[in-house]
């Protein structure tokens, strides 16, 4: 199955992602904590890249329709042991 998506910055470390899958559109908001970005070796200029890589990472683990309405990187780190390694490789 092929998933595609658009990322829209909303300011204040917030991004909305529109995921298209099987004729449906799912909206997920991503909240990026600057401390977590630093933990990932990323800065403010890297935020959209981090969102894009996080979406791709999550889609390897679950269907687009199953992504939460709000994604916080702290929760992704807590849920997936391999997330930080995947993001820093």
Could you tell me if 67 and 54 are in contact, meaning their C-beta atoms sit under 8 angstroms apart?
Answer: no
- Of the CA atoms within 13 Å of residue 69, those in its CB half-sphere come to 0
Tokens of 41: 């070796």
Any long-range contacts for 56-61 (C-beta under 8 Å, 24+ apart)? 57/83, 57/86, 57/87, 59/3
* 89 residues of the chain, pLDDT tens digit each: 445 899 999 999 999 999 998 888 999 999 999 999 999 999 889 999 999 999 999 999 999 989 999 999 999 999 999 999 999 87
Q: State the DSSP code for 69.
A: S
């Amino acid at each position: 199955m092929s998933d595609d998506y658009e990322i829209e910055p909303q300011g204040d470390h917030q991004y909305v992602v529109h995921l298209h899958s099987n004729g449906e559109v799912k909206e997920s908001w991503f909240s990026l904590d600057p401390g977590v970005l630093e933990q990932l070796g990323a800065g403010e200029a890297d935020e959209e890249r981090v969102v894009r890589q996080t979406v791709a990472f999550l889609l390897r683990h679950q269907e687009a329709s199953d992504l939460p309405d709000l994604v916080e990187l702290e929760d992704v780190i807590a849920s997936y042991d391999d997330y930080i390694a995947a993001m820093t490789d």
